[in-house]
Amino acid sequence: MSTIPLKERFFSDQRFLPKAVAWFLFFVFLVFLAGRYYTVIGAEIYPVLHMVIEFVIVVVAICAALMSWYDYKYKHELKMLLLSLTFCLVAPFEFAHALSYMGMPDFITPNTVDKASTLFIITKLILAVGLFVAVVFGEKIVVIHRSALIPALSFLLSAGAIYLIVTNLAVLPDMYDVAAGSQTTLKVFLGYLVIAIEAVAALWILTKKWAQNKDLYLGMALIIIIMSDLAFTYYFSPYDTYNLLGHIFQVFSFAFIFKAIIDDALGMLYETNKTLARQWEMLSEKNQQLLEADRLKDEFLANTNHELRTPLSAIIAFTEILLDERTGPLNAIQKDYLEEVSDSGKELLDRINGFLDLSKIAAGKTVLYKEEMNVYELIDDVLSKMRPLFNQKSITLELMRADVAVKVWADREKTRQILTNLLSNALKFTAPGGRVTVEVRLDDVANRIFISVTDTGIGIEKSDLEKIFQPFQQVDGTTARKYSGTGIGLTLAKKLVDLHGGTIEVESKINKGSIFTFMLPTEETEEKGKVS
Ligand code: ADP
């Protein structure tokens, strides 16, 4: 919540001061009218009029009590809790005062002017003291758990107090002198005491160096309450214009307090909204920057990879020439070393190709050349190329072949790449003696096939299953070091499957093995286009 120097606030475009002066003059004018056209309103009208005004006052008081408690619940500002407590006490007293008014049916005990006046002045004292304490001592943050108990208990407390007061009026000092037909000196004194307390509270707010919007409205409410109480001290008959005016002022002052509380709550919402909007703007800006950085990274990767491939291809080609012994015989050690160079060169080329493929997909430049093909033919081809590697590591590689020919509508090279990546991982993460199985399942109805690669390898933790399809993600650093790799094999496989409009899934149990299954359509489907 923003706090603004009071001076600045007064002269800011909110124009609080002119508004306050206008209201003040308006009320002075009303007081003048009440004196100028002083009348005692008829007994048949006034109780009803009084009841209506009191009803409004009670409703506003209850709303103020609830709103300020709600405000406290979220902001823990003591001021709000004290305001809530004050209005929870004031509302029932105000109601009891209305019910005790002359002309109303008897409330617990026979109604008298003295009874209504006693309840009235107690209400005023509670309100004045409550506002004073809230304004002067409320600038603290106090966390009270189950704070809802406070308004609830104060409602009960005031109900009990009202009962005790109306049943023990005889022992309480008189507030209205029936014989003289006017208020007692004590009542007038208490009236001025109330005004004095309210004046101190108002001055406290208005001389404060820093003020919030709600403080100003509280200040305004206090000034109007003072006007209201001044009007009350003037009245002779409980049905006269001064009394009526006092009540009208009270409605206004309660409305200002209510406005102060609502403003605070709404202001809080407004501020939160503004902060959210600002953060959203910042986020979308950052997002834009990230997207741009990502695009530049893809562009850089694509260019760099391309630049790397040319010299690497030369290294591989010249190593092959040397190994062919076309340039002269090699001894065993030379041959051995050159083979190492050739193998490492090819491995490096494979990885660079992987990066290149990935950046091409990210740039939306990958084109699929789809055709109808027999899936077993393609699998046989991949398996025959990879079998020597499996044999070398003593891992059984088998294909569960069905008798029917299974067709698939896909890009041959890309499908080969998906399967190769899955089989390379199965080989890498399965210990010697293990088994890797490829299986094809046809879903005739939905025109799709599922190709799965099952291994008996190290398995993957459940919590890692999501992240392994993200670029450069490896389950953990130690695995990566032990098994080598770049963390893009599965990303590439997933992107290629996505491009086909398929899906890829994994089931895995740690130390038991994994099943990677990808789905491809068996019939021509709509192009999926770009994959992000
Ligand atoms: P790379 O194999 O180059 O690290 P991948 O994207 O192919 O990258 O795989 C990402 C990670 O997923 C691997 O590092 C590994 O931790 C895990 N993973 C993939 N396939 C298997 C598998 N068959 N068994 C166990 N872990 C696997």
Over residues 95-118, the pLDDT tens digits come to 999 999 877 889 999 999 899 999
Average pLDDT over residues 520-525: 79
Determine which helix (DSSP H) or strand (DSSP E) holds 371, and give its type and residue range.
strand 370-374
The pLDDT value recorded for residue 5 is: 56
Which two three-digit tokens encode residue 391?
Answer: 């044999």
Q: Answer yes or no: is pLDDT of 532 > 70.
A: no
Q: How far apart are CA 377 and CA 15, in angstroms?
A: 85
For ligand 1, pick from 421, 474, 497, 506 the residue to mutate: most ligand atoms within 8 Å of CB. 474
Residue 531's pLDDT band, with cuts at 50, 70 and 90, is very low
Cα 105 from Cα 122, distance rounded (Å):
21
From 468, 482, 494, give the residue whose CB has the most ligand 1 atoms within 8 Å, as the site to mutate.
Answer: 468
In this prediction, residue 6 has a pLDDT band, given cuts at 50, 70 and 90, of low
pLDDT at 1: 44
pLDDT recorded at residue 197: 95
Q: Give the pTM.
A: 0.53
pLDDT at 16 (0 to 100): 66
pLDDT for residue 529 is more than 60 = no
Instruction: For the chain, give every residue range classified as CATH 1.10.287.
Output: 284-362
45-59, 151-165, 205-219, 304-318: the lowest-pLDDT one: 205-219
In the chain, residues under CATH classification 1.20.1070 are 6-281
Kindly state if the Cβ of 158 falls inside 6 Å of ligand 1.
no
pLDDT of residue 261: 81
Q: Is 257 in the pocket of ligand 1 (CB under 6 A)?
A: no
The residue whose CA is least distant from atom 8 of ligand 1 is: 487
Q: Tell me: the pLDDT tens digits for 262-319?
A: 877 777 777 788 899 999 999 999 999 999 988 887 777 777 777 888 889 999 999 9
Work out the percent of the chain whose per-residue pLDDT is above 70: 91
Instruction: Retrieve residue 405's tokens.
Output: 């020919």
Please provide the average confidence, as pLDDT, over all residues in the chain: 86
CA of 439 to the centre of ligand 1 (A): 20
Mean pLDDT check: name the lowest of 179-183, 236-240, 349-353, 406-410. Answer: 236-240
Mean pLDDT throughout 367-389?
92
Distance from residue 65's CA to the centre of ligand 1 (Å)? 62
Ligand 1 atom with minimal separation from the 453 CA: 23
Q: Residue 416's pLDDT is what?
A: 94
- Token representation of residue 283: 């986020």
Q: Is 355 in the pocket of ligand 1 (CB under 6 A)?
A: no
Using pLDDT thresholds of 50, 70 and 90, give the confidence band for residue 8. Answer: low
Exposed/middle/buried for 307, CB within 10 Å: 0-12, 13-18, 19+? exposed
Interval between CA 476 and ligand 1 midpoint (Å): 10
Q: Average of pLDDT values for 165-171?
A: 94
Quick one: fold of 284-362? Helix Hairpins (1.10.287)
In one-letter notation, the amino acid at residue 406 is V
Amino acid in the structure at residue 366: T
Question: CA–CA separation, 476 vs 42, rounded Å?
Answer: 90
Q: Which CATH class is domain 370-521?
A: alpha beta
Mutational test site, ligand 1, from 386, 469, 482, 490, max ligand atoms within 8 Å of CB: 490
Rounded to whole angstroms, how far apart are CA atoms 256 and 235? 24
CB-based contact 49:256 (threshold 8 Å):
no
**pLDDT tens digit string along 57-84?**
999 899 989 988 988 988 888 988 999 9
Choice between 367 and 477, residue whose per-residue pLDDT is larger: 367
Distance (Å, rounded) from C-alpha 159 to C-alpha 218?
26
Confidence band (pLDDT; 50, 70, 90) for 355? confident
Residue 479 is predicted with a pLDDT of 52
Q: What is the pLDDT of residues 445-467, one digit of tens each?
A: 778 899 999 999 999 999 888 88
Contacts 24+ apart (CB under 8 A), 320-329: none
* Arithmetic mean of pLDDT, 357-368: 80
As a whole number of angstroms, the distance between CA 490 and CA 311 comes to 27
What length is written for the chain? 532
Instruction: Please give the CATH number for the structural domain made up of 6-281.
Output: 1.20.1070
Question: How far, in Å, is the centroid of ligand 1 from the Cα of 389?
Answer: 17
Can you tell me the distance from the alpha carbon of 336 to that of 324, in angstroms, rounded to the nearest whole number? Answer: 13
Please name the amino acid found at residue 174: D
pLDDT tens string 479-501:
555 666 677 889 999 999 999 99
Cβ(425) to ligand 1 under 6 A? Answer: yes
Q: Residues spanned by CATH 3.30.565.10 within the chain? A: 370-521
35 three-state secondary structure: helix
> What is the rounded CA–CA span in Å between residue 182 and residue 179?
8
To 10 degrees, the CA torsion angle through 459, 437, 356, 320?
120
